[in-house]
Structure 1
């Protein structure tokens, strides 16, 4: 549940039982939920609540889901919109995506599938909320303490993880051994600076960086990661 703490989801549907079902399920998953039954109030609530994800029904009286989608996207903040419809028609899906929707689901749908699509949108548009940060070929998942390189999870020790994370987050910057020791090993480290070389060598092997093109050594200055 802690992995989604602080993530805001707005539910928009004119069918009360659907709103209640989704609100209970997503609240139990740890999301912060607000609901509204129509398109016009959805736009007002979106401006106030600024949700990360909107689950938006298409078929509503008055301002329908298509118009609400267009208006919410024009508010100017980053938001993922997943549209719901009872119609399985290509034209509706194309129209929704053209107006700015990020995904589309056809009723009836399973809660597990909706949850998976929400997680996919969060990974795509708000990776840092899930403890994930993407830089070039690296994906850092700080909740799982994992780093993926070129879609492969690296087998790293805890210290290797912290060292590589520090270097990736500071890519393009020359990092001296003393600065690395301060940030990764902390100020009370009493060993030699050469320990950094040992860990860099191990990480290079795991990255298959034999020619040091990824982790560069700048003699007398330190190390720098260059990302494409």
Structure 2
């Protein structure tokens, strides 16, 4: 990842308003952000977009954000992952991913845009 302006961010959340709002905030802050609403769409987009960072909700209808993050990490090994969730079951899912060798970060929902932007700026 080079400069902040060149950083590509893929935002995944099954709540379209959340995904769109986060992508809008990121785009206005100099990132190249795209919003998707399903794990399948995220994986397809990752193939084409090659994101530097995936920001994903954990608990969604269908597949989890962790499943999508693992698949995207395999497709784009340099992609960093930030997961966010407001549900307690997330801790177990995250521990299983860590036990499999995946290093994901977790933010608690609701995510304040300033906290997210600050976290992205800290990633190198």
TM-based fold match above 0.5: yes
Note the alpha carbon deviations across 1:94-113, whole angstroms, 9 max, x for none. Answer: 23444524311111121111
Q: How large is the Cα RMSD of the aligned pairs?
A: 1.8
Cα 1:49/1:19, change in 2 over 3 Å: same
Matched with 1:94 is 95
Greater relative contact order (CA < 8 Å, ≥ 6 in sequence): 2
Query: 1:76, CA displacement in angstroms?
Result: 4.3
Residues 16 and 37 of structure 2 are in contact (CA less than 8 Å); yes or no, is this contact kept in structure 1? yes
Query: 1:84, CA displacement in angstroms?
Result: 1.2
1:1-228 matches, within 5 Å, as 3-88=3-88, 90-98=91-99, 100-121=102-123, 123=124
What is the rounded CA distance, in whole Å, between the counterparts of 1:47 and 1:84 in structure 2?
A: 22
Cα 1:98/1:43, change in 2 over 3 Å: farther
Residues 82 and 101 of structure 1 are in contact (CA less than 8 Å); yes or no, is this contact kept in structure 2? no
* SS class of match (1:74): helix
Matched residue count:
120
**Unaligned 5+ residue runs, structure 2?**
none
What is the rounded CA distance, in whole Å, between the counterparts of 1:119 and 1:84 in structure 2?
A: 17
Residues 10 and 53 of structure 2 are in contact (CA less than 8 Å); yes or no, is this contact kept in structure 1? yes
TM-score by length of 1: 0.49
Residues 56 and 84 of structure 1 are in contact (CA less than 8 Å); yes or no, is this contact kept in structure 2? yes
TM-score by length of 2: 0.85
Residues 46 and 76 of structure 2 are in contact (CA less than 8 Å); yes or no, is this contact kept in structure 1? no
Cα 1:22/1:49, change in 2 over 3 Å: same
Higher alpha-carbon Rg: 1
**Unaligned 5+ residue runs, structure 1?**
124-228
What is the rounded CA distance, in whole Å, between the counterparts of 1:42 and 1:101 in structure 2?
A: 19
